[in-house]
Structure 1
């Protein structure tokens, strides 16, 4: 059957919408600017091209897009205004017209600060969380599909032509759902390799795929001062190389944010944030941090294409793109994934000394601490924050071709660690766990600099390896009873550390821990009062006296605060006690997924 053309000239009427010009063109539809009764709208008309397969699927996808949008009502998601058929029989949608820039254009034109990026991505993650709670998956998140409205700076997610929802009909012909290659999670390509001979195999798109796409978007904006330019770029979903940390390419990116982006792009989906609500809270916590590093432009304005007049009223000329420095290539090849932090090395020394003080000769003799790796441009903990360097960060894209296959090759990057690094030594795990805690780093460094006696007296984290009994936080009993509806003895399952999956993990005795209720909980009682995404904040301890246990030493985590999805933090008294499989150098090895209990007093 021959496709119906949809060349819609200006002044065409579509169900009363006066079409004026084309404003978008995609694989499944074309978008026109329309006006009706004084209101402007984006008129999206389903299309058919010979290369796009069965033209009826373009109609089916447009109708599915409509169904998905009718399930949603959120200020950061485009809204439908109507639908119908054109005179030529093509399905059309009338959507809100968003007068704004794409994320890439906004980044270049407005020169946003790190905090402004965090604010935008917090709202994007919030919209995704709302969307996912209603069973809708976008499946094509990218810089072009998020607009920043000019009138108020609000982000709006658009283009749901690739979206799906629970129980939707499968329209996919191939193994992968429709989407943009650069933003696909690496597990999608792994699925294709594993099922290359199974013609009916279909990849089940997950929230983790959306989170990876968010990571690609943020990585691009933080590392590329000109994201609108068409040029080769490093494939962040490459199976051969780990994505380079944003801070390595742009020294203005704070270390804690760089670590968060790395976690979003983790090759293991279970190591990414558990859902988009958890991701939203991550962004919110960083945005609320008063650190001055977040209040400077992510890129020097002189590197971008300014479209707004500067202080003198002149438009700056774009700078030429130079080749990526060879030194950066070497650094990327040599740098291990998530390098050691200097603070972890210092804290480790204190942990060793404290451990020796508590266990005496029976404790293992501490090995000399490894030489700490200093991150690029580290901030001294006791000094005030200084402005970022004025020098331009290294360019991420060389002029020549890259050996990495499409999409978007660019620089040589970090090769995957070998099998010997899949289960890193306790030191490596501890250093990884020190990231994304900027508010506590200064206090920890000060504690680490004290003598052992002074540290014990000051109550520094390293000294809190063996806890004593004491009462619960003030207000915990009332909060648990009246606000949370918890009762003494309630038992909840959670991941003790939200950065890891259900696996053995090395916990630093005395360090703060953030636990989370994962997906897959089947107990109705827990889902009612501690649902998926609930975060528990506490501290880890090691007990060598068995604490009345018959099966050996224990890891004990006391959680004193909780935050349910969409609610404020509240004081609690919640204890997890797990078998300690090993103890070494102030670190405790235990299984990360287990249950804990509501108590009225710390044991």
Structure 2
């Protein structure tokens, strides 16, 4: 019987191969021996397809990640690191190559084992979560990270979206090594911010970005401690439904300084076991050495998953409102959270300077921090991106609310937005300023004064991350 011809269907929306999406494939397209079944995701640099080996469907599905740009070197780096890793919690590399489409040009691809499952936060929203289950999942991720670090690699984008829980055995799998780096690998990111998702970046990374902001050639070198901190953020959000407060900045007479807003421990928010609460606090240490080594963390988590007390088998639930005045939201799928990013960015532009200058902790009931989440492409919220829906009402006993307002300086403040200014803002002395509605001289100490009106500086947002997370 004659075998029907294979339909090959792919297209370029642009003919010069320099567009954002130069090639997309439809079902039945063949890339070497791999036949496309369906597209399952797309990021900034690659698209993921469920494929099968042509002529051997009995082998089951595989995941093919295809570059969206000709000769993209990111895939060479990702494929090389995956080739060094053999771990149950990391997708196994099956093949890597280039889909040649013209002389000297093609689209790199990698083929991995197919992982049937859902992202971690989505899984937690669909299943009752206990502390023992959380410890077990985190132990599996830490073990995968230990293997990565042993191979001299750093993942650089550990988060709930990149940790999948397998359907068949509820095991955790560390996914998407598109932002990963290994020693002596080719450097691909030459500007800020470094790859990754801002909410998961370490204090040392955030400080470096600020201190080296005027050095175009500066580059942050991620370490295993960065992955461990991101695992701590993931764990905190997994059990509480919110992010821990990020490192903040405030204005002093000497300039800007960093400080850590008060962080409620997990046990103050939810009924988490003491063993899990303690390891989360360790992973979120501001001191990189205080987080421990990856292998130590993996071993401790595995030990705690087996030996934690009876409370570890109780479902994690929010504490009563009287014990928890800042009630956290329950974990939910990040697909439903992306719209909050646009709102957060808009609010950040208008009043970001207020909280940096005053150093206040955001009021959760205004805009809960758990509603400002990462996007699939690594996020768009920059350094210290914690926001308020509106400035809190001043009270006489609040620090910083008394005294004489500062005059607007003769030149822009560090990090201030420069002209052309946004709508509803004005240019004063080369910087963009927002007038505080209803506030007149004498202004509070949290504001700047100009011609008997009160203003706040507009802070320039950080550039979106380049993390590729299809």
Instruction: Pick the TM interval, shorter chain.
Output: 0.5 to 0.7
- Name the structure 2 match of 1:191: 208
Q: 2:386 aligns to what?
A: 409
- Residue 47 in structure 1 maps to residue 68 in structure 2: yes
Which deviations, in whole Å up to 9, do the C-alpha atoms of 1:222-260 show, x marking residues without a partner? 101xx8xxxxx554454542433111221x112342232
Report the structure number with the largest CA radius of gyration.
Answer: 1
Structure 2 counterparts to residues 450-599 of structure 1, below 5 A: none
| 8 Å contact from structure 1 (residues 77, 156) kept in 2 | yes
Q: Report the Cα distance in structure 2 between the residues aligned to 1:287 and 1:249, rounded to whole angstroms.
A: 21
Aligned partner of 2:269 in structure 1 is 249
The 8 Å contact of residues 240 and 330 in structure 2, kept in 1 or not, is answered as no
TM-score by length of 2: 0.60
Q: Output the CA distance in 2 between the equivalents of 1:306 and 1:401.
A: 14
Distance 1:157 1:108, change over 3 A: same
Select which of 35, 44, 55 maps to 2:52. Answer: 35
Task: Identify the residue that residue 83 of structure 2 maps to in structure 1.
Answer: 70
Cα deviation for residue 139 of structure 1 reads 0.9
User: What's the offset of the Cα at 1:399?
Assistant: 5.2
Kindly report the root-mean-square deviation, in angstroms, between the aligned alpha carbons of the 2 structures: 2.8
Question: Does the alignment pair 1:151 with 2:135?
Answer: no
1:103 aligns with 2:123: no
Higher relative contact order (CA 8 A, sep 6+): 2
Alignment of 1:439-454 (within 5 A): none
Q: 1:424 corresponds to which residue?
A: none
Q: Contact 1:118–1:284 at 8 Å: present in 2 too?
A: yes
* Paired residue secondary structure (1:171): coil
Q: Distance in 2 between matches of 1:121 and 1:411?
A: 31
Deviations 1:180-217 (A, max 9, x none): 11111111111122222222111111111011000000
Whether the 8 Å contact between 1:140 and 1:162 is mirrored in structure 2 is: yes
For 1:86, what is the secondary structure of its paired residue?
A: strand
Alignment check: 8 A CA contact 2:81 2:153 kept: yes
State whether residues 98 and 109 of structure 2, in contact with CA within 8 Å, keep that contact through their aligned partners in structure 1: yes
- The residue that corresponds to 1:544 in the other structure is none
CA distance in 2, matches of 1:401, 1:126: 32
Taking the aligned partners of 2:365 and 2:385, their CA distance within structure 1 comes to: 12
Aligned to 1:92: 109
The corresponding residue for 2:131 is 114
What does residue 386 of structure 1 align with?
none
Further displaced range: 37-46 or 59-68: 37-46
Seen in structure 2, the aligned counterparts of structure 1 residues 293 and 194 have a Cα distance that, compared at 3 Å, is same
Measured in 1, the distance between the counterparts of 2:82 and 2:76 equals 10
Give me the whole-angstrom Cα distance separating, in 1, the residues matched to 2:159 and 2:127: 19
The answer as to whether partners of 1:125 and 1:277 remain within 8 angstroms in 2 is yes
Q: Which residue in 2 is equivalent to 1:82?
A: 95
How many residues align structurally?
Answer: 305
Deviation at 1:90, TM superposition (A): 1.0
User: Against the structure 1 CA distance between its residues 142 and 410, is the aligned structure 2 distance closer, same or farther, given a 3 Å change threshold?
Assistant: same
Paired with 2:144 and 2:61, the residues of 1 have a C-alpha distance of 23
C-alpha contact 2:155 2:177 (8 A) present in aligned 1:
yes
SS at match of 1:44: strand
